[in-house]
Amino acid sequence: MVFSVKPPPATSRAATHSGAGVTQYLLLASVLRHQIAHGELVQGQRLPTVLELAGQYKVAGITVRQAYGLLKAEGLITSDRGRGTYVSAPPTGIAANLHAAINDPRATDVRFEVLEQCYGLVLPEPLLRGTAAKSAYKSYTFIRKIHVQGGEPFCLAEIYVATEIYKRFPESAEQQHKLAYLLNEYSKIRMQAMQQTLTVAPADMVLAQALGCSFATPMAHMTRRISDESGHIAYAGLFWYRGDRFVLESEYPFDLWLSYPGVAVPQTLAPD
């Protein structure tokens, strides 16, 4: 897969995004697209009229027409004069093997397309959030890659791995395995903790192009850090998942979750 626009390091972009400035019809189309993908609007179902949907979402009629036009071009809906507008696409849902591709560090049913590698970098300040600078290794290897499952991209990842650990990986191993798996297999120091932060934001043009989705499509944005027993950050990364191809699974013993809130809200992220 070759992209005509090379995305800049996401760590150089703002960490948060806003829906402000995103055209209303794109946002409306994104909502309807999500409902179709997840079976909330089923194949053959008649959609509201332009006036009905405009009233429901408090938007202008032209906004609804533009949103419907976009979904027609994507083959998700059809419209016949005098009969109405109908859903023409079946729900895609989340495939079982996609669950593993996202949640299992050992997953093998994933293809990795490495877009860029850089060496000898320092860990960017945003990825040091809540930790002392001394917790970082002196040097990191940076890898930007696309995760593909079932022939479709579902994740853009930008990951920093401590250089002294990365050097222990077999040659080109990052094209065959997840980096978290390689970290566990080849690091001399045992990994101790993993921390994740998940937010949601609309896709900008760079992400839309990279992941083959529409502009303003909901994206799951995850920041992940893995620390080793020495207390250093061995791995830190940013991940952008297509909203229609994302599922996060977590399971904790109830007593642990109830009595140890740090499982869900790490102390490093707790408000002052």
* Of the listed ranges 49-58, 165-174, 206-215, 241-250, the one predicted with least confidence: 241-250
Q: Is 5's pLDDT higher than 60? A: no
Q: Identify the domain boundary among 49, 68, 87.
A: 87
Express each pLDDT in 111-154 by its tens digit.
999 999 999 999 998 898 766 556 899 999 999 999 998 888 99
Helix (H, G, I), strand (E, B) or coil at 244: helix
* Helical segments of 19-60, H only: 24-37, 50-57
- The answer to whether residues 34 and 149 belong to one domain is no
In this structure, of 11-15, 115-119, 173-177, 230-234, the range with the lowest mean pLDDT score is 11-15
The reply to whether 57 and 147 lie within a common domain is no
| Whole-structure pTM value | 0.70
User: Domain for residue 236, yes or no?
Assistant: yes
Residues paired with 189 in a beta bridge: none
Residues 77 and 109 in one domain: no
- The parent domain of residue 169 ranges over 96-269
Give CA–CA dist 237/225, Å, rounded.
Answer: 7
- Say which DSSP state 130 is in: T
Two structure tokens written together for 119: 């060496």
Dmax over Cα atoms in the chain, in whole Å? 69
Share of the chain above pLDDT 90, in %: 49
Q: Is residue 6 part of a domain?
A: no
Which sign, positive or negative, has the C-alpha torsion 241, 223, 99, 35?
A: negative
List the one residue out of 155, 159, 145, 151 whose CA is nearest residue 243.
155
